[in-house]
Amino acid sequence: MSGEVGAAATAAVERLVRDVPDFPEPGIVFKDITPLLADSAGFGAVIDGLAQAGRDDSGAPVVDKVLGMEARGFIFAAPVALALGVGFVPVRKVGKLPGETHEVSYELEYGEATLELHRDGIGDGERVLLVDDVLATGGTARATHDLVRQCGGTPVGLAVLLELGFLSGRDAIGDLPLTSLSVV
Ligand code: AMP
């Protein structure tokens, strides 16, 4: 991403997100965000960088809601929503939301996952920014995109700290604009 805000956010991700090899299983390099969260200046820079994805060139917010994917997406999406002055909406794993939901199931490397969104979480025609920590295969992002559509909303972008380029998650989200603070 470009500009001073984007450069500070990218620097924070590259300095403070830690690689943990072979977690949670052999062969996976886990991107550990906890050192970033523990650094107030770095965390703030990342929130400002992600929030840029929900602004126009003049800095005005262009979204009605910010949606975060359970669980690490919540940590970033909620402060991004506050920065933009709009509401936060959670997408949760199946069985956690108490109200009427839409649900989407999708393939994981081993097995299947189901995500849910409250039917009244997104209003008809609302513009929604999706936020998560890591874009890997894109399955989670694709499912979340489809949930927003089921509610009648319009996904206007996906903002992530890290894009694992070798997994081609970008291909899974079609023409949804992607903001990645860092690509590995
Ligand atoms: P995917 O649906 O494959 O794009 O996976 C995205 C979700 O899995 C994100 O919500 C991430 O939190 C998590 N994830 C996938 N790969 C990693 C990784 N290498 N390190 C940390 N989190 C990951």
pLDDT digits (tens, 9 = 90+) for 135-172: 999 999 999 999 999 999 999 999 999 999 999 999 99
Where do the domains of the chain lie, and which CATH numbers do they carry? 3-183 (3.40.50.2020)
**pLDDT-based confidence at 48, cuts 50/70/90?**
very high
Q: pTM for this structure?
A: 0.97
Q: Is 116 among the residues known to form the active site?
A: no
Instruction: Assess whether the C-beta atom of 158 lies below 6 angstroms from ligand 1.
Output: no
Torsion angle (degrees, nearest 10) of CA 88, 93, 98, 103: 90
- Ligand 1 atom nearest the C-alpha of 106 is 2
